[in-house]
Amino acid sequence: MPAAASLFRLATRLDEVGFSDIVLIRNRIMELRAKGATVYQFEGGEPYRETPDYIKEGMSAALRENKTRYAPSSGISELRRAIAKKLREGNRIPADQENVIVVHGGMQGLFGSFQAVVNPGDDVLVFSPYWTPIKDLVGHCQGRLVLVSVDEARANGFRETLTRYATERTRAIYFNTPMNPSGVVFTRSETEHAAQFAIDRDLIVIADEAYEDIVYEGEHVSIGSLDGMFERTITSFTFSKSYAMTGWRIGYAVAAEPWMTGLRKAILYSSNGVSTPTQWAALAAFTTESDFLATSRAAYLQRRDLLLAGLNELGLRCAPPAGTFYAFPDISTIGSDSRQASELLLDRAQVATVPGVVFGPHGEGHVRFSFATSIETIESGLESMRRNL
């Protein structure tokens, strides 16, 4: 082989790292729009509300006060202290400021978490269908994704099911609740069974609680709050969904040692911390009295019920998601292939969704609708499906 051919190759650790399919869907939407079509957009993954003014004012004040210099790469201590308090009081996770690191959104927290835990050749148990980037984050560590069907775990028991999929190479469990894309919220008992399994097998849990504030039925339980779990759990949180701050890129992770050292290294040598004014804005989210979380939850619930009623009426069977702002209906009445079903929804009804198979093989037979959008979009999208499907 000529030297150039072997030299001009990406590092092998990127072999299993891909790009999101969602880009392809966005391109198709842009094409349709360019042709003058109205597209009812249900494919997104972000709150429809604006960031609250008191958070914006937190950044404005920081700028006026020239809080614009390097911050400690783990985050300003005012914010880390406020986060630790929120974790203790809200999540029952026994965290101090030293257990908290401020990161560029859930994505960077998860990136650092997998980097801190997974060695090449390690297996990671992932409840499925799962949020697609997890495959790439595990791939970047040259680990192996082992999918565990949520339906199977719910039918046969969490410990029994996890036991069935675990190998001697299993190192960690990715535990996302509330879950994207299915909207499943794990119950306390399910969480306890998963935790006991992790303790028995001496596994690390990487918990992803991006949607902790968007729960309609049941309760949000942080697995890191359970007995014996704090030392073996890294939990990733984000301001993106709770506070409509997707573009600000800020979140936090909580962990004990040695995981915190791993996170600090990953953050120090990638971004060297989050922009200082953004951190002051995030502090305002935790220190200002507001009903923003409650009003958001109520607004999403109203949208969930409207979309669900319409989908079920159309024969797209869907159980109400207990959390998140996603509905994940069964598309068997319009086909078995979720990519084809998603295309058909777009071509015939101008309704944009994400094919379920994007979230792994257990997502096939479904498409994902986000109901984080206006009531008008939901009503018009449903009407278009009624007329055109």
Ligand X SMILES: Cc1ncc(COP(=O)(O)O)c(C=O)c1O
Region binding ligand X by CB under 6 A among candidate stretches 104-112, 187-195, 252-260, 350-358: 104-112
106 makes contact with ligand X (CB under 6 A):
yes
**With respect to ligand X, which residue has the nearer C-beta, 252 or 259?**
252
DSSP-derived 3-state class of residue 101:
strand
**131 within 8 A of 208, measured Cβ to Cβ:** yes
127 makes contact with ligand X (CB under 6 A):
no
Q: Rounded to the nearest whole angstrom, what is the least distance from the CB of residue 246 to ligand X in the complex? A: 5
105 backbone dihedrals φ, ψ, rounded to 5°:
85, 175
User: What is the radius of gyration, based on Cα positions, of the chain?
Assistant: 21
Q: Rounded to the nearest whole angstrom, what is the least distance from the CB of residue 333 to ligand X in the complex? A: 27
Fill in the DSSP letter of residue 97. Answer: G
CA atoms within 13 A of residue 341's CA, in its CB half-sphere: 25
112 makes contact with ligand X (CB under 6 A):
no
226 makes contact with ligand X (CB under 6 A):
no
Separation CA 150–CA 154 (nearest Å): 6
Q: Rounded to the nearest whole angstrom, what is the least distance from the CB of residue 136 to ligand X in the complex? A: 13
Q: Rounded to the nearest whole angstrom, what is the least distance from the CB of residue 208 to ligand X in the complex? A: 5
Q: Rounded to the nearest whole angstrom, what is the least distance from the CB of residue 104 to ligand X in the complex? A: 7
Separation CA 206–CA 215 (nearest Å): 20
Binding-site string for ligand X from residue 234 to residue 253, where x marks contact by CB under 6 A and - marks none: ----x-x-----x----x--
208 makes contact with ligand X (CB under 6 A):
yes
**249 within 8 A of 273, measured Cβ to Cβ:** no
Region binding ligand X by CB under 6 A among candidate stretches 21-29, 102-110, 213-221, 359-367: 102-110
Residue holding tokens 């069974």?
193
* CB atoms inside a 10 Å sphere around CB 52: 21
Q: Which helix (H) or strand (E) holds 249?
A: none
Count of residues of this chain found to bind ligand X when the rule CB under 6 A is applied:
13
Separation CA 88–CA 100 (nearest Å): 12
* CB atoms inside a 10 Å sphere around CB 299: 17
176 makes contact with ligand X (CB under 6 A):
yes
Binding-site string for ligand X from residue 37 to residue 56, where x marks contact by CB under 6 A and - marks none: --------x-----------
Among residues 25, 210, 253, 260, the one that binds ligand X under rule CB under 6 A: 210
Reading the block at residue 319, the tokens are: 């159980």
Q: Rounded to the nearest whole angstrom, what is the least distance from the CB of residue 251 to ligand X in the complex? A: 5
Among residues 29, 61, 107, 306, the one that binds ligand X under rule CB under 6 A: 107
**345 within 8 A of 277, measured Cβ to Cβ:** no
Q: Rounded to the nearest whole angstrom, what is the least distance from the CB of residue 157 to ligand X in the complex? A: 24
Which residues of the chain form contacts with ligand X (CB under 6 A)? 45, 105-107, 131, 176, 180, 208, 210, 238, 240, 246, 251
